Structure 1
Amino acid sequence: MNKRALLGAMALCATSFLAHADEDSLRIGIEAAYPPFSFKTPEGNVSGFDYDIGNALCEEMKIKCEWVIQEFDGMIPSLKVRKIDAVLSSMSITEDRMKSVDFSKKYYHTPGKFAMKAGNVINDPLIDLKGKKVGVQRASTYDRFATEQLAERGIEVVRYSSQNEAFLDLASGRLDATLADIVNTNESFIKTAAGKDFALVGPDINDPKYFGRGAGIAVRKGDSANVARLSAAIDAIRDNGKYQQVMSKYFAFDIYGE
């Protein structure tokens, strides 16, 4: 074999190896600050429903999960510049996001809810919260809803890098309310010592225009291969019982939704 042919063969082997390596692993972005969906244990390990579901999906697909921890508002930019291959971090499937990324089918669906001091009654948030301060997580679906609906009605919207920061300000009296996922609010705040004087109030917030069709796994636009295999894996773990095993660790109800 001449030198040019040898170099060509080596390049082909290297390309094949890299392609195989990519197929055998998936770099997944996760926030790790959104309990009970994703959080760090006292030992510094990542845990939560999103993390366990991701590992179950990777096991089903026979690939390795490579978890990349970062803030939520940087997920889609990191996906676009190929720092990660997927986002599995309670990201809602919305029409607005689908302009930038593609999604697997949903893996759960829960509504949003306001949290306030116990005793408050909210019938119509657009009226009853006028003049109040409401905290939301920056770049979340709740941020977009608050910007387009609440701020227009004289409600002050305060944005945070993480939902936990909003909970801290609510507990300390710097906010009147916060709007977030009902499960996250209940499990990470209402049931804790800091949230003992607070309650979930008002109607469920689940307008499909803002909150879409549930949480899915985001991938780069046009990545149909990962959309297909992730969606198939979600169906598989729901059929073989692994989804229910993970769900029962964190919830006493069916979080998959309708």
Structure 2
Amino acid sequence: MKHMIKASFVATAVSVAAISGAQAQDVKVGVAAEPYPPFTSPDASGNWVGWEVEFMEAVCAEAKLNCVITPVAWDGIIPALTSGKIDMIVGSMSITEERLKTIDFSDKYYNTPTSIIGAKGDDFEATPEGLSGKILGVQVSTIHAAYADKYFAPAADDIKQYQTQDEANQDLAAGRVDAVQADAIALDAFLKSDAGACCEYKGNVADDTAILGAGVGVGLRKGEDELKEKINAAIAAIRTNGTYEEFSKKYFDFDIYGG
């Protein structure tokens, strides 16, 4: 992720479903206000683009929803949902047992590994032993922060939490942390950037579904069963009719849906 998006981007429309004989249901879709390429980020004109934006557009069109992007700071996005400021979250949010205590989720729409990167030439593995004595950067209020606290805090010299993934990546490039943990695809995007030339992939962390979840889903308020059914049906439809594969291949050379 990069720097925080200014308020002028709030409530940017991404799609308006064309519906014959019926009015589209207006839905405010919460995304993290911090750009998170290749999933969500604003282009030079301030329009939101990325894989998750295209996923959102396809799902909303299929479900006949008039969806409007509403950026929210990541650490406040669940409260924004439960308080009614937004109607659903499409923000690479993993389905976890802890989050299910507060909100509901759609079916999974992608699932990728959790990885660790570090400086080139610094030889270590993505294990507690490998991170012994090192400083690890993670984004606040994420599954990665929870995972690092459980598995790496006893061994690591320090676990530094950042408001955005971009800030963690910048500190890694500047040598202020030794490693960063995040979603494999998001870290791959950083490694392919000019700033990421400093660093390299160190490995995937050992899986813990209770913390890392069983994939990413659309976050929904509890009790919104009708909306959940529409979203689940739309996800299944775009997977079946080829739409999901069509927009995904513009970003990835593998099946992001996962096992």
Rounded Cα–Cα distance in structure 2 between residues aligned with 1:143 and 1:79:
21
Does the C-alpha gap of structure 1 residues 206 and 38 become closer, same or farther in structure 2, counting only changes over 3 Å?
A: farther
2:39–2:52 contact (8 Å) kept in structure 1: yes
Normalising to structure 1: TM-score of the pair?
0.88
How is 1:52-91 mapped onto 2 (pairs within 5 angstroms)?
A: 52-91=54-93
How is 1:1-258 mapped onto 2 (pairs within 5 angstroms)?
A: 24-31=25-32, 32-123=34-125, 125-187=127-189, 189-258=190-259
Bigger fraction of residues in helix: 1
Rounded Cα–Cα distance in structure 1 between residues aligned with 2:216 and 2:157:
27
Rounded Cα–Cα distance in structure 2 between residues aligned with 1:114 and 1:206:
13
* SS at structure 2 position matched to 1:209: helix
Does the C-alpha gap of structure 1 residues 58 and 124 become closer, same or farther in structure 2, counting only changes over 3 Å?
A: closer
Rounded Cα–Cα distance in structure 1 between residues aligned with 2:138 and 2:227:
31
* SS at structure 2 position matched to 1:245: helix
Rounded Cα–Cα distance in structure 1 between residues aligned with 2:120 and 2:156:
23
* Cα distance, 1:208 vs structure 2: 0.6
2:136–2:180 contact (8 Å) kept in structure 1: yes
* SS at structure 1 position matched to 2:36: coil
Rounded Cα–Cα distance in structure 2 between residues aligned with 1:205 and 1:184:
18
Q: 1:221 is aligned with what amino acid?
A: K
Which structure has the larger Rg over C-alpha atoms?
1
Deviations 1:53-82 (A, max 9, x none): 011100001111111012211110000100
Q: Work out the number of aligned pairs and report it.
A: 237
* Cα distance, 1:180 vs structure 2: 0.5
1:53–1:243 contact (8 Å) kept in structure 2: yes
1:30–1:70 contact (8 Å) kept in structure 2: yes
Normalising to structure 2: TM-score of the pair?
0.87
1:113–1:205 contact (8 Å) kept in structure 2: no
Q: 1:244 is aligned with what amino acid?
A: E
Q: 1:252 is aligned with what amino acid?
A: D
* SS at structure 2 position matched to 1:206: coil
Rounded Cα–Cα distance in structure 1 between residues aligned with 2:56 and 2:232:
12
199-208 or 238-247: which moved more? 199-208
Rounded Cα–Cα distance in structure 2 between residues aligned with 1:156 and 1:204:
18
1:113–1:204 contact (8 Å) kept in structure 2: yes
2:81–2:221 contact (8 Å) kept in structure 1: yes
* SS at structure 2 position matched to 1:33: coil
Rounded Cα–Cα distance in structure 2 between residues aligned with 1:160 and 1:80:
24
Give unmatched runs, 5+ long, in structure 2.
Answer: 1-21
Q: 2:223 is aligned with what amino acid?
A: G
- For the aligned residues, what is the CA RMSD? 1.5
Rounded Cα–Cα distance in structure 2 between residues aligned with 1:230 and 1:205:
31
Rounded Cα–Cα distance in structure 2 between residues aligned with 1:162 and 1:70:
12
Give unmatched runs, 5+ long, in structure 1.
Answer: 1-19
Rounded Cα–Cα distance in structure 2 between residues aligned with 1:178 and 1:89:
20
Rounded Cα–Cα distance in structure 2 between residues aligned with 1:175 and 1:154:
11
1:36–1:48 contact (8 Å) kept in structure 2: yes
Q: 1:213 is aligned with what amino acid?
A: A
Instruction: Determine what percentage of the aligned residue pairs are the same residue.
Output: 37
Does the C-alpha gap of structure 1 residues 118 and 154 become closer, same or farther in structure 2, counting only changes over 3 Å?
A: closer
